[in-house]
Structure 1
């Protein structure tokens, strides 16, 4: 990022990582105590103020700490990309993937339940051409610290409804963009008017020829590096020709959706 110094990038990255882990606004003193920097606490405080002025952080007004903005999360995604999944995690994905191959007729229902259990959010599965969809795991969002207000819950419910009604439009949008994985953070989303929700999506073509997409939906405070890696692993499994369906994943604070 040309508008940020290397020190500011380091501090912004640390703020985002700490906030994702704890869901608590990050103050300069806490950042220095828990992370440690080769500069004084006063310097860190001044740099955080500069990051806020530049639009990467914002003050919650309820504490002395700061939280990332959509612009801050976008910096993190662009600069840090994805984490490598461990061999154990990759094998776990493949194992669940193979278990579901023989249950294609029940795939959408099974997927939504597995995603709710392992993804920590709501699992949503849709077969657009047949007009069938399944969802599971509403209680996961009700327990999330990021969805304690009526606005957040209403937005999540609206997203589910719109995904059901506009699944073909979503797929068309992804095909036009042509990328492997798309990440939409809050208000960046070109398809939905969102403030509290982020989405990670990838297209999929299934062995029976049906085209669809897979999306990970959750709060903006999600572990993007891991979730992008998870999505990439799913994309690889589906594109490998052996995939009939999706797998259960252990993601933090996320919501997975399968459409095919």
Structure 2
């Protein structure tokens, strides 16, 4: 399978979204209910088997449902529908950022605090040229299911430690957030973690790289839209707002 036929793509997207929400393997009955399909469980099981054979999903236990593989997440992310915040949401976000920046008087610090509050993820922002970074959201990591795994928490810690050195090695992502899933992270072979990276250019400020760190089952569509929205705020931000 290259470009998936519509029925396979629909099932894969549904499976990923259920797994993001529940952190539990997904079976045919759950998919039928979630997608409101008028087909039999046997039909869905056959399609899931074909997706598994193609490497998009895996069955962790014989009696369990399926979970996405890195390949499955990648297909899902590459075919996400663009989502923008509504105008009222964008306005509220701008006001929230302005409140934080009045408190911190520091764009990078305000950025990581805002994004960590909204995404419940670890957020690092930095000025690659200056090797100066800001960090927030470690407590949010503990709300994620994968945080029950000591290995997953250690992996996030390793990524945070490495970002000081590797922040300036990401390709320019000014055109939009770039997602790195698991082994795609350029400086380590990650098993549990994904990154969403975006370069923003605040007016009259140095380029800032923002990295959102979370489990592979992070809500990609929401996080990408948040980074886009915050980027827009920063590029038009007036400190006296």
Query: Counterpart of 1:258?
Result: none
Other structure's SS at 1:94 match: helix
Query: Counterpart of 1:257?
Result: none
The answer to which of 104-113 and 178-187 deviates more is 104-113
1:104-253 matches, cutoff 5 A? 105-128=105-128, 130-170=130-170, 173-174=171-172, 179-240=175-236, 242=237
Residues of 2 paired with 1:73 and 1:155: CA distance?
A: 19
- Whether the 8 Å contact between 1:146 and 1:219 is mirrored in structure 2 is yes
Assess, with a 3 A threshold, how the Cα gap between structure 1 residues 107 and 179 changes in structure 2: closer, same or farther.
Answer: closer
Query: Counterpart of 1:82?
Result: 82
Residues of 2 paired with 1:201 and 1:243: CA distance?
A: 24
Q: TM-score if structure 2 supplies the norm length?
A: 0.86
Note the alpha carbon deviations across 1:72-126, whole angstroms, 9 max, x for none. 1111112223323233321111112333454564444444444443331234343
- Whether the 8 Å contact between 1:81 and 1:228 is mirrored in structure 2 is no
- Whether the 8 Å contact between 2:123 and 2:211 is mirrored in structure 1 is no
- Whether the 8 Å contact between 1:206 and 1:243 is mirrored in structure 2 is no
1:66-81 matches, cutoff 5 A? 66-81=66-81
Post-superposition offset of 1:162: 0.7
Other structure's SS at 2:14 match: helix
Note the alpha carbon deviations across 1:106-156, whole angstroms, 9 max, x for none. 444444444443331234343455554343332322332122212211110
- Whether the 8 Å contact between 2:144 and 2:215 is mirrored in structure 1 is no
Residues of 1 paired with 2:28 and 2:93: CA distance?
A: 39
The answer on 1:23 being equivalent to 2:19 is no
- Whether the 8 Å contact between 2:55 and 2:72 is mirrored in structure 1 is yes
Unaligned 5+ runs, structure 1: 245-260
Assess, with a 3 A threshold, how the Cα gap between structure 1 residues 130 and 6 changes in structure 2: closer, same or farther.
Answer: closer
Q: Between Structure 1 and Structure 2, how many residues are aligned?
A: 239
Name the Cα RMSD after superposition. Answer: 2.5
Assess, with a 3 A threshold, how the Cα gap between structure 1 residues 32 and 195 changes in structure 2: closer, same or farther.
Answer: same
Residues of 2 paired with 1:95 and 1:74: CA distance?
A: 34
Residues of 1 paired with 2:98 and 2:31: CA distance?
A: 43
- Whether the 8 Å contact between 1:82 and 1:226 is mirrored in structure 2 is no
Residues of 2 paired with 1:92 and 1:71: CA distance?
A: 36
Residues of 2 paired with 1:123 and 1:11: CA distance?
A: 31
